[in-house]
Amino acid sequence: MKAPAVIFDLDGTLIDSAPAIHAISNAVLSGLGLPALTFPQVRGFVGKGVPHLVRQLLAASGEDPDGPLFSRVETALVARYETEVEGNTPYPGVADALARLAAAGCRLAVCTNKPLRPAEAALGHVGLRDRFDHVIGGDSLSTRKPDPGMLRASHDRLGGGPMIYVGDSEIDAETAVNARAPFALYTEGYRKAPVSELPHSVAFSDFAMLPGIVENVVW
C-alpha cells in the first residue's frame, strides 16, 4: 500500500502561534490609536484566516468590522506576519513525530488558513519547513477551510492515496467532514468546544502518539 499522506493544520496544531498573533495584533491596533486586547480575546479569534481575525479585532475595539479600517488592519497584519515571527513555538514532540512519520515514508504537507508567506515564515522560524512537501495557505486558492477544496488540493499534490488530516479546531473538524477524510484531533490547541462535540476519528494530546495513530487509522 502507498504510504499515507499526512496533512496538518498549522496554528494550534503544529505551532502555538497565539502569542505572536496577540503581539502583532496589538501592535497594529496601537498604530491606529486603539486599545490593546487581551491574550484570551485574540487567541479566540485564531483559525479562520486573516479576514476573520481583522473583523474580530475591529469589533472588539468598537469599530465597524467591515468599515474603512478593515483594509488598513489587514495589510498591516499580513506585513508583520512575514517578519515578526518571535512567539511562534512548536508544540512538544512535533519535530520528533514528523521525523518518525517521514522515516516511515509518509508524505507530509500543511493546509492552513494563515496566508502562505506568513505560514512559511513561521514554519521556517521553528525549523519545520523542510519537513513538508508543500504548504497551502489561506490565500493560495479561491476558498479556505472549512471548504474542502484546500485539503483536497493538498492531497492531490501529495499524489493521492490513503490520507489523514491532523488539526485542533472546529474548523478543522468541519473541513475533514466536508472532505470525507479521517481526522486526528489534537486536543491541546485552540478549539472552543468539548472534544466530544467535534467529529473525529481519534483524539490525542501528545504528538508521540501520532505515528501510531497514523499506522492504526490509515495503514
Catalytic residue positions? Answer: 9
Could you tell me the CA-to-CA distances from 69 to 44, 61, 76, 128, 144 in Å, in that order? 21, 11, 11, 34, 23
Q: Per 3-state DSSP, what percentage of the chain is helix, strand, and coil (rounded to 5)?
A: 45, 15, 40
The span from the CA of 86 to the CA of 90, in Å, is 12
Say whether 97 sits in a helix, a strand or coil: helix
Place of cell 515578526: 84
Question: What does R_g of the chain's alpha carbons equal in angstroms?
Answer: 17
Q: How far is CA 198 from the centre of its chain?
A: 17
Within a 10 A sphere around the Cβ of 17, how many other Cβ atoms? 27
Cell digits of residue 20: 505572536
User: Which residues have C-beta within 8 Å of that of residue 27, sequence separation ≥ 6?
Assistant: 80, 84
In this structure, are strands 89-90 and 15-16 parallel, antiparallel, or unpaired? antiparallel
